Structure 1
Amino acid sequence: MTDPGKTENADSSGVDPRLLEILVCPLTKTSLDYDAQRQELISRAAGLAYPIRDGIPVMLPEEARELDQS
């Protein structure tokens, strides 16, 4: 029996892969890369990494981390 509060297609981060397919950067409207190790969604166009907290992508630019320029 499965837990009704869980999405069966969610990966180990708890983020539904279908959600990851449709999310875009709120600033540039470009696609995002998923970094499973750091639990972030990367916008290369904006140079930002949006955190995923408790399985929920936080798509606020003020919460994003600037990508290293190196």
Structure 2
Amino acid sequence: MTEAPADPRHVVDPQTLEMLVCPLTKTRLTLSADRTELVSVAARLAFPIVKGVPLLSLDEARNVDLEEIQRHSR
């Protein structure tokens, strides 16, 4: 099964990602392998990206377990 190409309007610009920080710790965020979340290693939180818009609200974040954090901190 072939994955449909992403709508260019829903892709986050890499330069924009470099400017974003965790709203809790003010540390750098890491893009998840599937490009659907921004992960804060310091806060152990993952923030969703919806239609190309990072939702950097603590209400939207999910907790990330230690094993997943270790994969992002490599």
* Shorter-normalised TM range: 0.7 to 0.9
Report the number of matched residues.
Answer: 60
Structure 2 CA distance for aligned equivalents of residues 19 and 36 of structure 1: 17
Identity, in percent, stands at 52
From 15, 34, 56, the equivalent of 2:31 is 34
Return structure 1 stretches of 4+ with deviation > 6 angstroms.
none
Structure 2 CA distance for aligned equivalents of residues 14 and 50 of structure 1: 15
Gaps of 5+ in 1: 1-5, 8-12
Deviation at 1:23?
0.2
Deviation at 1:38?
5.2
Q: What code does the residue aligned with 1:37 have?
A: D
TM-score w.r.t. the length of structure 1 is 0.76
C-alpha distance after superposition, 1:14-37 (max 9, x if no partner) = 101111000000000000100141
Q: RMSD between aligned alpha carbons?
A: 1.8
TM-score w.r.t. the length of structure 2 is 0.73
Gaps of 5+ in 2: 1-7, 68-74
Q: Could you say which structure has the higher helix fraction?
A: 2
